[in-house]
Structure 1
Amino acid sequence: MRTISPQLESHLQGVVTNHCFVWIIRCSNQQILGFTDHDLPLVVKSIKCEPQSGMNSSEAHSKLGLSISGSEIEGALVSDRIREEDIENGIYDDAVVETYLVNWNEPAEQLFLQSWTIGKITRSGVKFVAEIKGAAAAYDKIHGRRILRQCDAELGDQRCGILSRDPRYHAHGVVVAVDGADMEVSGLENYAADWFLHGSFTWTHGRNINAKSKVTLQRSDLIRLRDEPVFAVEAGDEFEILAGCDKSFSTCKAKFTNSVNFRGFPHLPGNDAAYSYINKDMNFDGGALVP
């Protein structure tokens, strides 16, 4: 139950009101941003909130029980503190958004409305839309291990056991030239084609520094990425790349010689086996389903 101060309650019951909305965004990197739909700066919770930032919110809806409530924040990249590259690089992923109703004539008279978590962010040009979710969204996440045929570890993490800096699986490269979505590169001459397919790609030098993507095509002198970089790639931009893993048992065994650390259940019969008709080619004798 929200508690409204007597001053704010008296103001809201008046014939003329001076209220506005304020959004305070607390990012995972400890950065805190404040915005308001008022036409002058406001200080709320000791945070300076930018006026007329181009942000507005859709109607928020809340539900009883464990149903996920949500809303959207829509805006334009008109604030110097909201940068396109930060959105692309995930700075706002899982950030906390606090919304307040504020008497702009007396900012100390404020009412905390709701706390949300930023989910999916989409953008088009200078416009962005951020989906925000209520606390119940945490119950929709998967916690713990999942029983899957494929591995649920990430290549190079503690459960995987592979050293991500091992030169067999990790490389540095430099862009030589750019042709549309394809980049001519140097530094991968000693690796087979598609060795880094579906692998992690990180820019280490240039305007896209720290941005990440996945590799969709790789040759000894050619790279193609899944996500188009925010800024144009230039010759001389540097990157690091990690070998690709499709999380299958056969790849773990043959490519990484790491079957002992495989975190999936490759011998688990799937629905195709459970619901198929018995025939002479099916032999479920308890033996391994995957060689």
Structure 2
Amino acid sequence: MSIIGKELATIAFCWLLERPDGVALGFTSHDRDLAIEGLLYRAAPGMLPSSISTSDGFDVDSLDVEGSLTSDAITAEDLAAGRWDGAALTIFMADWQDPGGSTIAVARGELGGVSIRGKAFEAELRGPTSLLEVPVVEQTSPECRASLGDKRCRVDMAGRVRVTRIAAIVGEAVIDVESAAPGNAYGYGHLRWLTGANSGLESPMLRSDGTRLTLREPPHLAAAAGDLVEISEGCDRSLATCSARFGNAANFRGEPHLPGLDLLTRYPGG
């Protein structure tokens, strides 16, 4: 029997939050914790969804979720560091008398903008129809629109990703690592923190000079020598770099020789 087909309803709302780094948390509106499919959904009276409005059209479905900041679940530090950016959120109904039984999906999507007010946070849930807001046709650009190593770029990243440790902290956004490729191989690349206070976060790199890496901005939390990091080579998206360094001009996804709007303002003899 469906959980809404009973004479006396025993329904509890449940929230499943899954961060991009693999951490999953469950919350429920019930006054006791519920175990559903091997995950403990904690009683969270401070977690409140707004009214949920869905339709069979192409309007973007969205709702707001408010919750309390707690020391062992969702903290202000994690929100500010971006650990919850893009987290997948699933809201469903379950029978608190039989939490292992059937459930009814209510909404799903990704967390959008997150704001903090005092000891509470508010996040927007963007549903699957938000993908309809993405431009269908790309605009032309002199730089490559692909990302290094993706299915359009096709550069083999094997050997271009390295796991190393921080040897020294030189400045707020400058670090030395134990091993790295020579030159500016990591300019416009990414550094992923594997251990330490920033574990699970990523930092874009601005440039590199051998084992010295300059980040685009300081890490959110203090880094320390000995932290394990993964560094990936980058690309400045220019045709010259694509051809000379990667030998990949055939897959360049840009139009470097396309005339710009200044062509309309030129005049004979100018």
Distance 2:41 2:244 in 1: 55
Structure 2 unaligned regions, length at least 5 = none
Equivalent of 1:132, from 106, 121, 125?
125
Aligned to 1:114: 106
The 5-angstrom pairing of residues 45-194 of structure 1 reads: 48-52=40-44, 54-62=46-54, 65-78=57-70, 80=72, 93=86, 95-100=88-93, 112=104, 114-120=106-112, 122=114, 128-141=121-134, 146=138, 148-149=140-141, 150-166=143-159, 169-171=160-162, 173-178=164-169, 181-187=172-178, 191-192=182-183, 194=184
> How big is each residue's C-alpha offset from its partner over 1:84-108, in whole Å with a ceiling of 9 and x where there is no partner?
66996867735241233x6868879
Aligned-partner SS, 1:7: coil
- Cα gap change, 1:119/1:171 in structure 2, threshold over 3 Å: closer, same or farther? same
Offset of residue 215 of structure 1: 0.7
Aligned-partner SS, 2:129: helix
Q: Is the 8 A contact 1:182 1:222 kept in 2?
A: no
Offset of residue 109 of structure 1: 11
Equivalent of 1:216, from 206, 227, 230?
206
Aligned to 1:286: none
1:252 aligns with 2:245: no
- Cα gap change, 1:217/1:277 in structure 2, threshold over 3 Å: closer, same or farther? same
Offset of residue 233 of structure 1: 1.1
Aligned to 1:280: 268
Q: Is the 8 A contact 1:181 1:224 kept in 2?
A: no
Q: Which moved more, 1:50-59 or 1:83-92?
A: 83-92
Distance 1:278 1:111 in 2: 66
Aligned to 1:7: 7
Distance 2:269 2:7 in 1: 79
Q: What amino acid maps onto 1:66 in structure 2?
A: F
Aligned to 1:196: 186
Offset of residue 116 of structure 1: 1.9
- Cα gap change, 1:190/1:31 in structure 2, threshold over 3 Å: closer, same or farther? closer
Q: Is the 8 A contact 1:54 1:78 kept in 2?
A: no
Q: Is the 8 A contact 2:27 2:43 kept in 1?
A: yes
- Cα gap change, 1:237/1:134 in structure 2, threshold over 3 Å: closer, same or farther? closer
Offset of residue 50 of structure 1: 0.9
- Cα gap change, 1:79/1:41 in structure 2, threshold over 3 Å: closer, same or farther? farther
Distance 1:132 1:156 in 2: 30
Offset of residue 204 of structure 1: 4.1
Q: Identity percentage over the alignment? A: 27
Aligned-partner SS, 2:7: helix
- Cα gap change, 1:79/1:172 in structure 2, threshold over 3 Å: closer, same or farther? closer
Equivalent of 1:265, from 250, 255, 260?
255
Structure 1 unaligned regions, length at least 5 = 12-17, 283-291
- Cα gap change, 1:239/1:29 in structure 2, threshold over 3 Å: closer, same or farther? closer
- Cα gap change, 1:241/1:20 in structure 2, threshold over 3 Å: closer, same or farther? closer
CA RMSD of aligned residues (A): 4.3
Offset of residue 273 of structure 1: 4.6
Distance 2:21 2:194 in 1: 19
- Cα gap change, 1:103/1:142 in structure 2, threshold over 3 Å: closer, same or farther? same
- Cα gap change, 1:92/1:142 in structure 2, threshold over 3 Å: closer, same or farther? same
Q: Is the 8 A contact 1:118 1:130 kept in 2?
A: no
Aligned to 1:234: 224
Aligned-partner SS, 1:154: coil
Aligned-partner SS, 1:251: helix
Distance 2:161 2:6 in 1: 62
